[in-house]
Amino acid sequence: MTETDIYYTAPIRDFLETNECLRIRIRDTEPVELTYKGETTPEMREQEQFWKNEVDIPIEDTDDVQHLLEAIGCEELTTVVKHRSKVRFDETVITLDDVEGIDHYLEIERTASTEEEVAQAVQSNRRLLSELGIDQPDIVDEPYRDLVLASQ
């Protein structure tokens, strides 16, 4: 599946500084959606894992949403195009991404609703990384948006 993500920042604060995410995601196999993810906390940075509330809203007209975002002062930051494959193991989703112009990445994701579930997910992800032979120096904890911006 190919995903094209158009990232924005808001006039009220710099989403690059807070690591918030506001994007339009266009997929070749699924409906388009507008997504917001909250800021990165110090605890997330310390753990080098991220658990954010994510708000996804299906949209029908990408142009209308882009015009709306621009009308309220949001600025387009960059576009990320990635070719993505997903595999599910129990409660874990493993995603293999080929991000155009950057590199190949592996993402491990589990859904968690409570602090206890977050702690369990963090430990489970660490175990899986270890089993896969992925060492700490190999972990990239920056969003694709930031990696693409840094490469431009």
Q: CATH code at 89? A: 2.40.320.10
Position 142 scores a pLDDT of 85
Q: Is the CB of residue 152 less than 8 Å from the CB of residue 76? A: no
Q: How many Cβ atoms are within 10 Å of 53's Cβ, its own excluded?
A: 8
Q: Is the CB of residue 74 less than 8 Å from the CB of residue 7? A: no
Position 103 scores a pLDDT of 95
Q: How many Cβ atoms are within 10 Å of 85's Cβ, its own excluded?
A: 10
Range of the domain at 73: 2-151
Q: Is the CB of residue 52 less than 8 Å from the CB of residue 30? A: no
pTM: 0.84
**pLDDT tens per residue, the chain (152 residues)?**
999 999 999 999 999 988 889 999 999 888 999 999 988 766 766 766 666 677 899 999 999 999 999 999 999 999 999 999 999 988 899 999 999 999 999 998 888 888 888 888 888 888 988 998 988 778 887 889 999 999 98
Q: Is the CB of residue 125 less than 8 Å from the CB of residue 49? A: yes
Residue 125 neighbours by CB under 8 Å, 6+ apart: 49, 92, 108, 110
Position 5 scores a pLDDT of 97
Q: Kindly calculate the radius of gyration of the chain based on its CA atoms and give it in whole angstroms.
A: 16
Number of domains in the chain: 1
Q: Which two tokens stand for residue 17?
A: 């500084």
